């Protein structure tokens, strides 16, 4: 399965008060997002399905991929393109069995061992992080650095998506280390102009890939 995962935007309604999931997704898509992941822990299931259906329709209009975080039931209910599960969520092999072979399955895997297992369990891509310090407290001990991207990308065949503290300045480092794409929340959804932030991120990732291709040619 060939996936375009370059600019991977995770929605968050708490980062920018007054900007809901749909608005954030729409503006990110207008800026060139390749993937929208809906991530929400507190919304009731009925509303979640309705919101996800709107975002899925937007993604199809823009030719982007729509992924639901964690909630396999919601992804199936509204026919999402795929689902993403973390280490504390439903096991990847169970998620694959439930969604079937045609849907996209993403799996979080912060280590090489977990990445290999995710691939064996049917992941179409692996989310690797956290790469850089992220969040309000900037926990330096949790950051793995880009070396983990290089290690995982050389060991698995599925594409990997870097996540954790990524912004326009350090995204190229992730691409150079082997990431197929960069997943961000704050750098785009939390920006004053989501559309422009998404466009800028998409451009720096394209430029990084172009430099990499020139270096390999």
Phi, psi dihedrals of residue 193, rounded to the nearest 5°: -120, 95
Angle at 30 between CA 200 and CA 138, to 5 degrees: 45
Q: Rounded to an integer, what distance in angstroms lies between the CA atom of residue 25 and that of residue 194?
A: 9
Question: Hey, what long-range contacts does 132-136 have (CB within 8 A, 24 or more apart)?
Answer: 132/164, 132/165, 132/166, 132/170, 133/164, 133/165, 134/164, 134/165, 134/186
Q: Which residue in 128, 184, 119 sits closest to 151, CA to CA? A: 128
Q: Give the catalytic positions in this structure.
A: 39, 108, 137
């Amino acid at each position: 399965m060939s996936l375009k995962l370059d600019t991977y935007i995770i929605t968050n309604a708490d980062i920018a008060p007054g900007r809901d999931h749909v608005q954030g997704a729409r503006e990110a898509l207008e800026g060139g997002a390749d993937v929208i992941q809906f991530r929400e822990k507190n919304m009731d299931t009925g509303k979640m399905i309705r919101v996800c259906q709107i975002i899925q329709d937007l993604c199809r209009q823009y030719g982007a991929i729509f992924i639901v975080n964690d909630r396999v039931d919601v992804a199936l209910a509204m026919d999402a393109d795929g689902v993403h599960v973390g280490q504390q969520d439903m096991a990847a092999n169970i998620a694959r069995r439930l969604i079937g072979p045609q849907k996209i399955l993403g799996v979080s895997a912060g280590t090489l061992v977990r990445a290999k297992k995710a691939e064996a369990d049917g992941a179409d891509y692996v989310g690797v992080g956290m790469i850089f310090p992220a969040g309000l407290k900037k926990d330096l001990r949790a950051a793995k650095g880009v070396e983990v991207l290089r290690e995982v990308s050389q060991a698995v065949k599925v594409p990997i998506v870097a996540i954790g503290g990524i912004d326009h300045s350090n995204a190229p480092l992730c691409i150079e280390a082997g990431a197929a794409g960069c997943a961000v929340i704050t750098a785009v959804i939390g920006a004053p102009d989501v559309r422009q932030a998404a466009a800028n991120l998409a451009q720096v990732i394209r430029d990084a890939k172009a430099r990499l291709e020139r270096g390999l040619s």
